[in-house]
Amino acid sequence: MNVLIVDDQKAIVESLREGIRWEELGVEKVYTACSAREAKLVLVNFPVDVMLSDIEMPEEDGLELCQWAKERLPALECIFLTSHADFSYAREAIRLGRFDYILQPVRYEEVEAVLRKAEGKIRENQSVRQLQNTRKLVVEQRDTILEAICMKLRQGRGGDAEQILSTLKELLQPDFKKFSFYPAVVRIIKWKRIINTWDDKLVRLVIRNVLEELFAGAHGVTCIASMQDGSFVILAAVEDSLFDEEKWEVGLKEFYDFVEAQMDFSIAVYMGTKLPASEEESHGPAFGGMLTYLAGVGEELNPSGKSSIFKLADGAGEGNEGEAEPVQKAVSYIKANLNKNISRTDVAELVHLNEEYFSRLFKQQTGETFKDYILLEKMNMARTLLERSNLSISIVASKVGYDNFSHFSKMFKKLTDMTPQEYRKEHQK
């Protein structure tokens, strides 16, 4: 703690500096000033926690100085010294947010007692500010925190996920007092038209804005994590007195209806069981349901009550069939056009899906990347032609979309460990 003594009488300044047991109070630095102008220079250039100031000073009094200082240093504690027992002074000092008010002539013991109180308040305020800053950081990084929870769940580290959730709960507790977590999963199942402008960040922003508007009357924080399979995990921390599970379900249904009516994509929505933050053991079932989803078996989730996450809306329940349809269409297109140069962009447009999402969905459904799948199909066809026809190798190459004979031979050997000539010789005996 650092203290600034301000008084236009130098004798009083020196008396306080010499008479107070600063070390016992935990004071590290004692600064002095004999005018408001000098005090301002100290406040601007040095860290000061407490200002001990006379009220009546020439040019600018202590009340004006305190007002100036508090505008720039809100955490500064002001203790006023005055020879006037006039309540109007005290009232004005209170209005300015002073810490205490001491009549002159002062007693050192009284000043020390007030300084001890000031130290206690400073520490309390520091703790509050630290907690506020931490909670602010949590709110700013809430999506990252939820993504960490989901990652731990996907890795089978439920204990680590619970620990992160518990820390999140403790940080939110001062603001929410009594609240619950509401988990949900939103999966994009189909794009309604060809579009290349959407990405995960934009979809996440849309989801958050719509949810926050729907639940504007509830005090809470919404976390949204994007998953590699194109879905979004939602965890809402909401004040119990302003929210309930029925509202959560109705809100998600409204969200589903809004997306279906207004957005470029169709979704499936899964709602999780309420997680009361005051009951640690209650986290398990709902997180077990979420773990089931994150493990890739979301198709097994249903409203039977056996799972903690279930498909909410009629029509959203076709999620897996809806996801499989564009991939099946893409596969059929690829097999029918192996003689062409097939691009991911073209196929994604064909099935009306965002290119990045289509790529993830394609690998999820086929087990191969889009590029690798096409290569395998082309080489499978090339092997068939080499085995069952007498077409020249250059013609075989053109039938699987290769204009460059050398490049075709290189790719064929990469997959079969044989040149096309060697393969034909081996299989046409």
Across the chain, what does the average pLDDT equal? 75
For the stretch 145-172, pLDDT in tens is: 777 877 777 676 767 777 777 777 776 6
DSSP code of residue 60: S
Segment holding 334, helix H or strand E: helix 319-336
- pLDDT of amino acid 284: 47
Confidence of residue 401 (pLDDT cuts 50, 70, 90): very high
Distance CA 355, CA 348 (A): 5
Distance CA 236, CA 214 (A): 13
Give the chain's domains with CATH numbers: 2-132 (3.40.50.2300), 141-320 (3.30.70), 325-427 (1.10.10.60)
Confidence of residue 304 (pLDDT cuts 50, 70, 90): very low
User: In this structure, what are the phi and psi dihedrals at residue 226, rounded to the nearest 5 degrees?
Assistant: -90, 135
User: In this structure, what are the phi and psi dihedrals at residue 324, rounded to the nearest 5 degrees?
Assistant: -70, -35
Of 180, 175, 52, 209, nearest in space to 117 by CA = 52
CA 295 vs. chain centroid, Å, equals 22
For the stretch 175-203, pLDDT in tens is: 666 777 777 877 776 666 655 566 667 77
Contacts of 261 (CB under 8 A, 6+ apart): none
Distance CA 342, CA 239 (A): 52
Residue 300: both structure tokens together: 């097994």
Distance CA 332, CA 327 (A): 9
Distance CA 74, CA 59 (A): 24
